[in-house]
Structure 1
Amino acid sequence: MNQITSLLPLLAVALLAFPGPVTAADGPLMTKHPDSSAWPALFAPDLSDADFPAGVWTMEKGELTASQDQVIWTKQDHENFIVDLEFKDSVGTNSGVLIYCTDIRNWIPNTVEIQLLDDYADKWKDVAPTWKCGGIFGRLAPAKQVVKKAGEWNRVTVACKGPHLTVVLNDTVTVDADMKRWTSASKNPDGSDTPPFLASAMSAMATKGRIGLQGKHGDAPVFFRNYRISELK
């Protein structure tokens, strides 16, 4: 038995221990932000087409913000779509773009969350990589840290086609993932732990549901503007 042959079993074990990149096989749905200027708004200016607790979400000078940690939801389900928006963190912001929600009363385990976080805040600087801004919360770390400091506007585009998800944050693809690869409710494909409160494997989750924006978390508000949506064919 030559030396190379004798190493093959060890190489096989190594490949199982360190799975490949958690990406979609056919590449990202997009690699840059779209021209969304003519797209319809995700929510009407008066928020009449949105679902949220009365008095929590308000429009101030064209910016949407919340006074509590409550979500503003679309009233309709969506599938195969692109959401494009801008957001501005405060110091300590912890928010998200929520997609495929099938139960708004118990949304955390029944939603895929694209994390919006002030990565630079002291309270969040040591969190797990899967909690960082631009990733899939609790499931997949962003490919790169590109969120801007608190007080600056960021742009994020979330493209969804069935189980295929792509996130572009500030001109960088931070996520390109196939939900079907998340077959465990407790472990992510890269071996990291899934928070127990997420409860479901992404492979078992619906790919149609409501879209939401998470509100003020603790004492750190978040601001949104230019939020638009388009069908993805």
Structure 2
Amino acid sequence: MNIQNSPLTRKLGSYVVLSDNDLDVLAQLHKRRRIFVPGVDMIHEGQKNQPAYILANGWAISFKILRDGTRQIVDIQVPGDFLGLRSLLFRTSDHNIEPITRVEASVVQAGDLFDAFTRTPRLATAVLWAASRDEAMVVEHLVGLGRRDAAERTAHFLLELGARLKLVGLAKLDGYDCPLSQHVLSDALGLSAVHINRVLRQLREEGMLTFRNGHVSFDDFDRLVAFADFDVAYLDDYAPMLK
């Protein structure tokens, strides 16, 4: 693969200027590749000594199963994301990760990552930035679940996905391809599938957003941003989306 155009390189390169040595180290992290199919967990809660993955192609979800069998999706993973990075440090996974499309990912063992950080501290700084950005998104998701109404929450979430995808070259200002079903959206946003359907219809009828046939279109981007109170500052590097 061309490491300079990989989603992870694009993302980390928005934070630091990557040297040839940094790129060589990143290429080493990508040397072991695996294919995963939808519906089969890549990582499951309670699993020990599990490697992390760098998502190269495809989408995945992180979730926890509740006692009654329902699930809460805690994040959506897109190309360029680390999957299970926390498990390398905790040694036991605290959530499940499952592909929702065919996924191609690089396998990263703890020793690989620690060696990479030793060889290039600048890369370690960039990965720490990426982890901090992920934490900022979790905070926003908590705010959304607790304080935004259903339409605002949905609009904010789809804008955030667009910003994340644009960073790695997979979205444009007017929208992006999105494989998420209404059931996945409902589990991520704490709403029923029926409610999600109603909200998407509302956003479409009000001329702000259309989600149809696996594609999200921003019909009135500026009005959608204002409606969702979408302040891009919490994503740190995504200001170009608003230009």
Q: Give the TM-score, by structure 1 length.
A: 0.30
Give 1 or 2: higher helix fraction.
Answer: 2
User: Which of these two proteins has the greater Rg computed from alpha carbons?
Assistant: 1
User: Which is bigger in relative contact order (C-alpha 8 A, separation at least 6)?
Assistant: 1
Give 1 or 2: higher strand fraction.
Answer: 1
Q: Give the TM-score, by structure 2 length.
A: 0.29
